[in-house]
Chain A
């Protein structure tokens, strides 16, 4: 298994929208936002199967999520993580004097992370310092 470089997009998904209405502390919300959509060819090249654990790293941070193949991804080298605390761990705080951080189009690296665990929301908060 080997890693690959990618451009990270974050955004809305229907499951995330429904998950947050169940509860931000629910398993359904966690399941909806702790995933990374990957192009099937990147999955194959990296030896990844659906719901394998991966580490996504940008210059701003690193997070463990589960990978899912997606036909929404236009081509190899693009990955998508729904809005939420997992995506936010990878976003830089520069706003280019607009107030808006860059949530789409961030250089990232993806690597298989067998044996690693997807943290729950409370563990992510501990990492934030509370």
Chain B
């Protein structure tokens, strides 16, 4: 029996790096320090696996050898006019870099799950910049922690305990030394530990932020309430924000997916910028997939842009709304796709998913997904962070090293190795 300490958890943007995994007979027998989602992954990742490469023939997926599957993927991408490489928020940075290279080689679009999570955050950041910090600074110094449109207890179950309200920091040791505010449409489990919960009307975040900015500047609001919140309560919140020493606004998809989208992010960043007149205040998106931040970093350092990059012109072209995977599918422009560690048929709007089903596409994934069930080619991969090592970026853009704690099943390769194979095959086909 072997014990692995300080294993980095490959679930969410918290990248908790204190997991203890006990391994026996090349299986994980137990984990410590995991949240419920993390423990479910570590203890079940080996079940329900894709075991053989598959190619869809006459509507049925049939097992093939790896060489044949890699060749078919290369053929699909090489024969396309405008292919897309999509996903990899659940892969290592090393694999992500190869994904970008592959998109450049085949002259297609490289995009990732950012498009349906914090894409509007990237757009807001382009407009406004982003006064941010690390989770370590929050843990050690923050005395006012605001979650806006984020059900942190269900999406990032250890965030409160490791990095924010319930953590023991160097300068903020006790729960009483911090105030927690939650603003959300639903009164979720995340509202329970809050000192102040504000239940906002759906889709009126921009209005509340504008009102809050006015109240902070001691302007008078002529309405009795804004976004369903009485003005007295907005004043109470403003007072709390103004009087902290180190505040942080964590925001989730409640802002990015609702009416206003990137304008909500503009308003949130403006609010934080205003608050720096009175206190040190930072803002941070609650990134979901464990290495979606890494995908933005890698895509940026290789192309100059964080997601939705069109490489079909021979140089990077970035225009979300035009070059985003959802939009090139929506308009029926994309004519082939390689999906890596992602499940767009489960999470894209139905009509967009239908358009993906009309074109040839391949999937690389450790597990069967909704998308893999009907893919033209499926290649099983190792589980990054358990069976393959690599780099990943935490939600605050701190890079950490994912560990390999045991071997993948025989004949199963990492995303990085598989993408290298596809890249080499594409290059040999293109001469």
The residue among B116, B254, B370 with the most chain A CB atoms within 10 A of its own CB is B370
**CA of A80 to CA of B287 in the docked complex: distance in angstroms?**
21
Shortest Cβ distance from B12 into A: residue: A17
A119, CB-defined interface residue at 8 Å: no
Tell me if A88 and B186 are in contact (CB < 8 A): no
The residue among A26, A84, A104 with the most chain B CB atoms within 10 A of its own CB is A104
Tell me if B36 and A11 are in contact (CB < 8 A): no
Chain A residues, CB < 8 A from B259: 102, 105
- B355-384 to A contact mask, C-beta < 8 Å, 1/0: 001100000000111100110000000000
The residue among B258, B262, B346 with the most chain A CB atoms within 10 A of its own CB is B346
Tell me if B347 and A84 are in contact (CB < 8 A): yes
B341, CB-defined interface residue at 8 Å: no
Chain A contacts with B in 21-63, Cβ cutoff 8 A: 21-26, 60-61
Tell me if B187 and A128 are in contact (CB < 8 A): no
A-B contact count (CB 8 A): 174
Chain B residues, CB < 8 A from A100: 115-116, 119-120, 256-257, 261, 326
**CA of A102 to CA of B422 in the docked complex: distance in angstroms?**
35
Tell me if A74 and B199 are in contact (CB < 8 A): yes
Chain A residues, CB < 8 A from B41: 21
Tell me if B48 and A11 are in contact (CB < 8 A): no
Tell me if B187 and A24 are in contact (CB < 8 A): no
Tell me if B370 and A85 are in contact (CB < 8 A): yes
Tell me if B187 and A14 are in contact (CB < 8 A): no
Contact with A71, one of B187, B262, B349 (Cβ below 8 angstroms) = B187
Chain A residues, CB < 8 A from B44: 21-23
Tell me if B261 and A96 are in contact (CB < 8 A): yes
Tell me if B350 and A17 are in contact (CB < 8 A): no
Contact with B37, one of A7, A21, A127 (Cβ below 8 angstroms) = A21
* Contact A14/B258 with A24-B369, A93-B352, A128-B350 known, Cβ cut-off 8 Å: no
Selecting from B72-80, B150-158, B216-224, B238-246, the interface stretch reads B150-158
**CA of A122 to CA of B368 in the docked complex: distance in angstroms?**
12
Tell me if B187 and A99 are in contact (CB < 8 A): no
B327, CB-defined interface residue at 8 Å: yes
**CA of A83 to CA of B354 in the docked complex: distance in angstroms?**
18
B300, CB-defined interface residue at 8 Å: no
Shortest Cβ distance from A15 into B: residue: B154
Tell me if B187 and A74 are in contact (CB < 8 A): yes
Tell me if B346 and A85 are in contact (CB < 8 A): yes
A91, CB-defined interface residue at 8 Å: yes
- B315-348 to A contact mask, C-beta < 8 Å, 1/0: 0000011101111001000000000000101111
Tell me if B186 and A24 are in contact (CB < 8 A): no
Tell me if A74 and B185 are in contact (CB < 8 A): yes
Tell me if B185 and A88 are in contact (CB < 8 A): no
A1, CB-defined interface residue at 8 Å: no
Tell me if B254 and A104 are in contact (CB < 8 A): yes
B40, CB-defined interface residue at 8 Å: yes
Tell me if A24 and B367 are in contact (CB < 8 A): yes
A78, CB-defined interface residue at 8 Å: yes
Tell me if A125 and B370 are in contact (CB < 8 A): yes
- A interface residues with partner B (beta carbon < 8 Å): 7, 9-14, 17-18, 21-26, 60-61, 71-74, 78, 80, 83-85, 88-93, 95-105, 121-122, 124-125, 127-130
- B interface residues with partner A (beta carbon < 8 Å): 11, 36-37, 40-41, 44-45, 47-48, 115-116, 119-120, 123, 151, 153-155, 157, 185-189, 199, 202-203, 253-254, 256-259, 261-262, 288, 308, 320-322, 324-327, 330, 343, 345-354, 357-358, 367-370, 373-374
What are 19 A-B interface contacts by the 8 Å CB criterion?
A9-B202, A11-B151, A12-B253, A18-B37, A21-B11, A23-B44, A24-B369, A72-B186, A84-B347, A85-B345, A85-B370, A93-B352, A97-B320, A98-B321, A101-B348, A102-B259, A104-B257, A105-B203, A128-B357
